[in-house]
Amino acid sequence: MKIGVLYEVWGETESYPGAKEVDDDTTRRRRRRRPKLDREEVFDALTKLGHEPSYIELDGRDATLFALARTKVDLVFNLAESYAGDDTKDLNIPAFMDLVGVKYTGSGPHGLLLAQDKALAKKIVEFHGLKTPFSAVSHRGRLDYSHDVKFPLIVKPVSEDGSIGIDVGSVVDSVKELMERIHHLHEELDVPILIEEYIEGREIYAAILGNRPPEALPLVELDLSKLPADTPRIAGREVKFDKESEEYKLTKSALAKDLDEETAEKLQEAAKTTYRALKLRDYGRIDMRLAKDGTIYVLEANPNPWLSSQAEFAMAARGSERTYNEMIKKIVEVAAARYED
Ligand SMILES: Nc1ncnc2c1ncn2[C@@H]1O[C@H](COP(=O)(O)OP(=O)(O)OP(=O)(O)O)[C@@H](O)[C@H]1O
Ligand SMILES: [Mg+2]
């Protein structure tokens, strides 16, 4: 197949944004060099799978959109996470491809929309009988929606990814801290804010692959237990990207160990229900918390999660005895199958 690897270059810098490194043989070899970008890894995998890949770049100019509309590829591998630097516009890209009849991998506009609005996603997930932390939404001092929430709370943007607006100061214990944090976020980002009960517990990620039916891959855990006692146990910006920080160095993702079978199954079921309920397609990652008493809380859903070989999704795929190339092959297959009906 001719496959166009689609990505956006807006504001892209020379320095690699950084990724939590995993400790296994597959990635150890790569450490010394600049890690490959996810698009390069996907491109290489497609070549090895016998496809004819090419790059399709979006840069915020109409001309690149027109080029996408005219593309002659059989399938687009959609790695675009924003449009013109605006990550809330990621959903317009598949919507545009639907309009012009370009076939693509991953979630459609519905899935991207539902998952992006965390407050809306939580209501849908609750409707399906799953638990998500109690929350309230505030924008410019107005309360849009509210449970009766209890401290400690975590304060985060309703619609951002990659821990934008989430750092060591996000967990608050008092009204004073809460007001200060809301003010801080409104100043920085001016976006609606989700005030959510903070759930102490294990941080579990469930990678889901395919559609009919979706398959839950082995669970991945981000171990936050080594963080200093005065640091909140959350995967904030420092933990995910700030390679120089203590928080980054002290935390590590790996396949989840010591989970009893029943709990692991419940987590995977919760993730599959979330994936279906939010209309995710082809591949996705559901972020959850497992509280001490065994209660599972769905935190959020990530359609088209990062496909770097170092990211949690690929780690979960390796856990299911798939190589990186086999994982990419499966995504292509399930996407292409959608257009055969
Ligand atoms: N209610 C909560 N209780 C405990 N920890 C939380 C809660 N909400 C968020 N966190 C912590 O903050 C992290 C980031 O939150 P979230 O996943 O909502 O942000 P994001 O920016 O969408 O992240 P991603 O990089 O997955 O897109 C979580 O992985 C978790 O560690
Ligand atoms: Mg997350």
* pLDDT, mean of residues 129-147: 90
Q: How far is 277 from 208, CA to CA, in rounded Å? A: 13
Looking from the CA of 333 toward its CB, the CA atoms found within 13 Å total 11
- pLDDT attached to residue 3: 98
Q: Binning pLDDT at 50, 70 and 90, where does residue 33 land?
A: low
Q: How far is 57 from 14, CA to CA, in rounded Å? A: 16
The CATH code belonging to domain 2-106 is 3.40.50
Nearest to 269 by CA among 93, 148, 277: 277
| Nearest residue by C-alpha to atom 7 in ligand 1 | 198
Atom number, ligand 1, closest to the C-alpha of residue 170: 12
Q: Does the pLDDT at position 28 exceed 50?
A: no
- pLDDT attached to residue 310: 94
Q: Other C-beta atoms within 10 Å of 289: how many?
A: 21
Q: Does the pLDDT at position 31 exceed 50?
A: no
- Dihedral, 53, 333, 60, 287 alpha carbons, nearest 10: -130
CA 34, distance to chain mean position in Å, is 23
Q: Other C-beta atoms within 10 Å of 33: how many?
A: 7
Locate the domains of the chain by residue range.
Answer: 2-106
Higher pLDDT pick, 205 / 34: 205
- Dihedral, 23, 28, 32, 36 alpha carbons, nearest 10: -90
**Residue 4 phi, psi dihedral angles, 5° rounding:** -95, 120
Q: Binning pLDDT at 50, 70 and 90, where does residue 143 land?
A: confident
Give residues with Cβ within 8 angstroms of 272, minimum separation 6: 206, 208, 213, 214, 216
CB-CB contact of 330 with 46 (8 Å) = no
Q: Is 235 in the pocket of ligand 1 (CB under 6 A)?
A: yes
Average the pLDDT over each of 181-190, 219-228, 317-326 and give the range with the smallest value: 181-190
- pLDDT attached to residue 14: 44
Q: Is 194 in the pocket of ligand 1 (CB under 6 A)?
A: no
Give residues with Cβ within 8 angstroms of 78, minimum separation 6: 6, 93, 94, 97, 104, 105, 106, 304
pTM: 0.93
| Nearest residue by C-alpha to atom 13 in ligand 1 | 235
Best residue among 154, 197, 292, 306 to mutate for probing ligand 1, ranked by most atoms within 8 Å of CB: 154
Distance 286 CA to ligand 2 centre (A): 8
Sheet holding 52-58, edge to edge: 52-58, 2-8, 75-78
Q: Binning pLDDT at 50, 70 and 90, where does residue 36 land?
A: confident
